Chain A
Amino acid sequence: MSRHRIVRTMNYEDEYYDDDEEYSHSVDDSYCISPSTAAQFTWSREKNVNFAAYIGEGEVINEEEEEAEEKGSTQRHDSDSADNTRLQLSDLELAQLNSCLEEARNILGESVPESVMSDVIIQNQFNLEASVNQLLCQQDAPKPQREPRQRRNRSQASTTPVKTESDSSVNTVQDFTVSHRKATTGPPALVTPSKSTSKATIGFKTDEIQKSTPPSSPAGSRKSGLKLKVQNDCTSAASSPAKDSRKASVKSLSAHSGLADTDSASSTKTVTVSEENGSSTSAIDSSLRNAVEFMGLEGDQETIQTSVDSMKPVAPLPKSKLKSSKIDVTSEYSRRHGDKELLNLVVIGHVDAGKSTLMGHVLYQLGTVNKKTMHKYEQESKKLGKSSFAFAWVLDETDEERARGVTMDVAQTRFETEKKIVTLLDAPGHKDFIPNMITGASQADVAILVINATKGEFETGFDAGGQTREHALLARSLGVGQVIVAVNKMDTVDWAEERYQLIVKKIGQFLTKQAGFKESDIFFIPCSGLTGENLTKPPTDPCLTSWYTSGITLVKQIDDLKPPTRPIDKPFRLNVSDVFKGVGTGFNVAGRVGSGYVQPGDKVIIMPAGVTANIKNVFIDDQPVTLAFAGDHVNLTLSGVDMVNVNIGSCLCDPASPARSATRIRAKIAIFNIDTPITKGFPVVFHYQAINEPAVIKRLLSQLNRATGEVIKKRPRCLVKNTSAIVEIELERSMCLELYTEFKDLGRFMLRSGGHTIAAGLVEELLQTKAVLNGAS
């Protein structure tokens, strides 16, 4: 009712005006003229050009036009067209000019007036590279904020200053580009011409001036958001492959090119140079081609070749925002991969073999632990009368561990070597803490098996009852492929070669014959954790150097290990190994990303609780990161979920494909050397990632031949030592498990009973969950 009254007295104009303000306000409306009006009457930098020098070569333009149109024009394109018409360019030329302008702007930013740019572009017959080069030469220096990237790209190759060369090569480049254009016929090239030529530019420069100089160009390196994957692929190939691969197309192009410009001589020369270089790069070519095709580019061979070439030296394709995030991730991954490879390293061995001391000393020598802290440890350990434990204190941090001089839980640190970033997991050696050791080993890629060389000690550790065997077997069964055997405490036996050789022989035999390591994946290093001999620096002790001629240090050997391929393309999985309160809101979970990747802001499902949570932050080694991949040890800050829903053993997973949980599984197990046979109803402790849960072996389905895997006996009554079998295992409560066939790392488990590891297993099938089980019974 009241409304009506107001309506009657209302000032309609005001009302409508207000409405406008409220609901249909937009930026455009706040200007009182339309864009076209604005274009006509307002001053614009690009209109104010003197295009006296425009000349176009018909043919060239034709080619370019197709490409340019294919590329799709942007708004700038449209707005520019108004002024360009005035300049009496043909449509084709216009399109070309626009695309060139756009590219140039991308590269140069707003530093150069558009009028100048278009001038230069037309001068250079719509050759973007040449124009850009020219423009750059005019400018004194590249824009400062781009510099870091440029430097970084170059650092992978050599640091030859390209800038100085660019002047001399401009002409060559131009010519080449022109001929190149002409030859490219048929389906339009999807890659922007500028790029391919820019690449060419680089290649030529280096070829001409310095054959061995790897390609790099100011233009290319300036581009942000590079297609890194491709770049990475080819970085390894260094410079010459890139030139070589380009060779073919260049040659054919120059042969075809009807228009030999004045400078064509130099162009041909270049080609010959690259021809000389070329021979070995077909592999790289093809891989690049795959990459290109993968990116959705189409076209004939030549086009692809062009784009392939274009990517090689500096990979200048700007990363498209439309591209699926997966590609971004792979490229991001390979970028980091290119930096330094990540390696998860577990240190295992019999109790008192000197694992913590060895690694503590390595950390000290590498500078991860500073002198002051070390000094403090020395003083404190001396006070307790355990001065020899000073280095172990670096890793053993709890009071109890220090007081007892025994590592009890896995300590995790990170250090860097020349080529690797190593996540170090220092496992406890005492047999009561094998569950902890399993947690560590299940997160590792490679292992250092520390052997105590002292007389008598090696024997007790290696013989029955020692942990050397059990640890090695566990590590192998948990997917550790490579092992460095650090023969420690060699100083106690005066670096005797016979002792070393004896150990090498015994351990080597055991590791290959019983544990199933490949001989090529076992490395032996004599060292001393206490004195620090042969850890990071080459050995100096004359007793050692007299026979240890290779001089490979422990750290060098770690550097030489190969990291495994990581399942970053699989759905995200993280098995929680620790839940704790961090600083700030929410709480933290720690664990190793089992597969896939994770970034802050991701939604995840926590299984088996089945609740969703948000990831607020991702930390690697206490540093916030934007992306973490399979293999990384991360701390995640979670929000939107109660702490009681997350336990050790919970699985954070991708909401799109959550992990399944089960209470009953079918598994293939390999039984170790056990005293009591396994029957059905046998109670075991089921170790999986960071969890240990009581379980019962419910049924023995079949006994298998260990080597061939064929069924020897169906429904055996019992399983004796050193056999393989398929069994059904019932867990006390629901657990998140993965099939071995789907996630290798996450499909492995261990069975222990009475303090001994009795079997290693692979999950074959998840049979039922608790709910189903109840319903059935």
Chain B
Amino acid sequence: MKLIHRDIDKNNSGSITLVPEEAEDMWHTYNLVSVGDTIRSTTIRKVQTETATGSVNVNKVRTTLTIQVEGIDFDTQACVLRVSGRNIRENQYVKMGAYHTLLLEMNRQFTLTKQEWDSVAIDRIETACDPAQHADLMAIIMQEGVAHICLVTPSMTLVRAKIETNIPRKRKGMCDQHTKGLHRFYDQIIQAFQRHCNFDIVKCVLIASPGFVKDHFADYLFSQAQKMDDKTIIDNKSKFVLVHSSSGFKHSLKEVLADPSIAGKLADTKAAGEVKALEDFYTMLQTDPDRAYYGIRHCERAAEQQAIEVLLISDELFRAQDVAQRKRYVSLVDSVKENGGEVKIFSSLHVSGEQLGQLSGVAAILRFPMPDDDGEDEEDDSEED
């Protein structure tokens, strides 16, 4: 993401002009835009013109529109962001108040104006504009019969393909069906992999599985590549890394990313860092339950006591439609930062972020134990349900 222009006054209101450069930036933008903001970008609109004689012409016109956001829609698979709302600056083609949906595109700048830019949003722009080289990672997580092909970017884990086939079990004297089924399964994975993997972006391919499936698959993959003379795979052979995982389901990716042996391969450690932080939280919960809190109420209470050492929070919470709700989370983050605590904002697209999201979205590791209050606990729980 490129920051073109920034104009934020001391009341934290103002506008920022950005140019998204890669798919990931769309995700950042998705997290920045909220209902009520205004956004200005070029777009294509169908314009109807009526001539004096009454005939109607329909033209597609490229024009720049400013809309007040009413709806935001993010497509994770295509990484497209659609923002809909009413036009607030009339031009020759579009009237005031006309509805329009902006499709934010890559490499086309847009200007976002907010009444109030909070610290979380500004932080996000900073991270998004960090020029540090990102490493995109392809992961094939598999077990016999199930495979997930995921693209892991610093703030997103996108499942590109999910393959499920039924592999007949080995049975007396009928092993060939098992082998055949297995090869069919591998072929499907290879196809999906070729379709989704762009070695210009992908710096590393992880093949993770329990048992020997990964070795077996890697052998098969390379032999097939040799057979079909697939240069892209043969040339990038060094990018493949085999890792152990306990299952072929998506959440095993967490284990894979936590694997120290591959940590070096990952230029960007955000995904791995999140996994680590969540692990720490669980370890604390096991060893000293009074120092590990989760749920917004608990965390706020801990923040009041300046007890929070590390705050884990899911970015999902900042996308809340309700401004008050959003402010509540932002103030929690701010207070933790003020008091020298560390704040980790988890991407809800990552596996660890997903898990945190299930765990009410907020968790904290405390500096000192704070005894639990049961009465509040129940109230809290019911609220979250």
Residues on A lying within 8 angstroms of B by beta carbon are 397-401, 404, 408-413, 430, 432-433, 435, 577-581, 590, 622, 647-648, 675-677, 679-683, 685, 692, 694, 696, 698-699, 714-715, 717-718, 720-721, 752-756
Contact = CB atoms under 8 A, between A and B. Distances in A.
Contacts of B251: 683, 694
B97 interface: no
A648 B377 contact: no
B282 interface: yes
B356 A681 contact: yes
B358 A681 contact: yes
B318 interface: no
A409 B358 contact: no
Contact of B358 (A397, A408, A411, A680): A680
A578 B377 contact: no
A401 B179 CA distance: 12
Contacts of A676: 279, 282-283, 285-286
B169 A409 contact: yes
B111 interface: no
Contacts of A580: 168-169, 171, 174, 177
Contacts of A430: 211
B285 A398 contact: no
A648 B170 contact: no
Nearest to A693: B249
Contact of A677 (B246, B279, B282): B282
Contact of B246 (A397, A681, A755): A755
B211 A681 contact: no
16 contacts: A412-B172, A432-B210, A435-B210, A578-B171, A579-B168, A647-B166, A648-B145, A677-B282, A677-B289, A681-B356, A681-B358, A683-B351, A694-B247, A694-B251, A754-B252, A756-B246
A622 B172 CA distance: 10
A398 B178 contact: yes
B329 interface: no
Nearest to A646: B166
Given A430-B211, A681-B355, A681-B357, A717 B289 contact: yes
B377 A717 contact: yes
A599 B335 CA distance: 70
B175 interface: yes
A590 B249 contact: no
A399 B246 CA distance: 23
Nearest to B359: A681
A721 B289 CA distance: 13
A732 to B, nearest CB: 8
A694 B250 contact: yes
Given A400-B216, A720-B286, 17 more contacts: A397-B175, A410-B169, A432-B246, A435-B210, A578-B171, A579-B166, A580-B174, A581-B168, A675-B286, A681-B360, A683-B358, A685-B247, A685-B249, A694-B247, A698-B358, A714-B378, A718-B285
Contacts of A752: 246-247
A250 B244 CA distance: 77
Contacts, number: 120
Contact of B355 (A410, A682, A717, A720): A682
B364 to A, nearest CB: 13
A335 to B, nearest CB: 27
A676 B286 CA distance: 6
Contacts of B174: 580
B381 A715 contact: yes
Contacts of A753: 246
Contacts of A413: 172
B381 A754 contact: no
A398 B169 contact: no
Interface string B370-384: 001000011001000
B385 interface: yes
A147 to B, nearest CB: 36
Given A590-B171, A714-B378, A692 B285 contact: no
A754 B246 contact: yes
A73 B279 CA distance: 82
Nearest to B286: A677
A464 to B, nearest CB: 16
Interface string B51-67: 00000000000000000
Contact of B359 (A397, A400, A680, A755): A680
B255 interface: yes
B33 to A, nearest CB: 24
Contacts of A578: 168-169, 171
B318 to A, nearest CB: 19
B314 to A, nearest CB: 11
Closest 8 CB pairs between A and B?
A: A681-B358, A755-B246, A580-B168, A432-B211, A432-B210, A681-B359, A676-B282, A683-B251
Contacts of B216: 400
Which of A397, A679, A756 has the most C-beta atoms of chain B within 10 angstroms of its own C-beta?
A679
Contacts of B178: 398
A577 B167 CA distance: 11
B255 A754 contact: yes
Nearest to A720: B286
B169 to A, nearest CB: 4
Contacts of A590: 169, 171
Contact of B211 (A408, A581, A648, A675): A408
A623 to B, nearest CB: 13
B212 interface: yes
A433 B211 contact: yes
Contacts of B168: 578-581
B210 A755 contact: yes
A223 to B, nearest CB: 40
A581 B244 CA distance: 32
B30 interface: no
B110 interface: no
A577 B169 contact: yes
A777 to B, nearest CB: 12
B169 A696 contact: no
B294 interface: yes
Contacts of B166: 579, 647-648
A648 B144 CA distance: 12
B377 A411 contact: no
A498 B349 CA distance: 58
Contacts of B250: 694
Contact of B294 (A432, A717, A754): A717
A44 B360 CA distance: 93
B212 A400 contact: yes
Contact of B249 (A579, A694, A720): A694
